[in-house]
Chain A
């Protein structure tokens, strides 16, 4: 079974803090993704990575960066958290032979 795990289900941070969201997959998938989910807007792609140390911007990369030092781990970084980054963050991975498999999500609140 594909497993995508995210470091926290719920996270509360203060404005201006640096925030790290971690995602780990155990199926040796090449591609990994970070989406954010907001009511009425669906899932919007922030960044994706198709190999170690490779990354590409998605549709809404502003205010975020990512890191992929190992194949199984993809981190999303909020350099200086702001209240408009309060959202549900979903990580996904795929080997291109299947549709992306999602992790359980991290609900981030920025106060």
Chain B
């Protein structure tokens, strides 16, 4: 079962913040966040492996709540370059590298 991402789409002005959520009906062992720009391959942003772990990458950070089976991606002081579609991929217990992806959240940052 695919994880569910919310919101489906968001439009921001430069400098504004955004949160993208990823919820799973199954137990989570890892959450991988990717960003894809139009016409390009998804690019890895970060991975979260433990419950309650929070990781950061420039002004983009993420949290992972194992108990609630969800992860959130935080984009702070958004820049035009943040525009794209964000996907969360959830990993199972078998550690095959196989990920099940959410349907994606489209983020548009306007000047």
Contact A33 B97 (CB under 8 A): yes
Task: Please encode chain B, from 77 to 104, with 1 for each CB lying within 8 Å of some chain A CB and 0 for all others.
Answer: 0000000000101000001111111111
Query: How far in angstroms is the closest Cβ of chain B from A106?
Result: 11
> A42 and B104: CB pair below 8 A?
yes
For the complex, count residues of A whose C-beta is within 8 A of B: 26
A14 smallest CB distance to B (angstroms): 25
- In angstroms, how far is the closest chain B Cβ from the Cβ of A4? 8
Is A103 an interface position by the 8 A CB rule?
yes
- Taking a contact as CB atoms under 8 Å apart, the answer to whether A102 and B101 are in contact is no
Among B47, B97, B101, point to the contact of A42 (Cβ < 8 A).
B101
* 10 sampled A-B residue pairs with Cβ under 8 A: A31-B98, A33-B98, A42-B87, A42-B103, A90-B42, A96-B95, A100-B89, A102-B43, A104-B40, A105-B41
B97 pairs with A101, CB closer than 8 A: no
A94 at the interface (CB under 8 A from B): yes
Q: Which residue of A lies closest to B32 (CB)?
A: A99
Kindly report which residue of chain A lies nearest to residue B101, judged by CB atoms.
A43
Contact B99 A100 (CB under 8 A): yes
Q: Mark B13-52, 1 if CB is under 8 A from A, else 0.
A: 0000000000000000000101000001111100100000
Assembled-state Cα–Cα distance A105/B37 (Å): 12
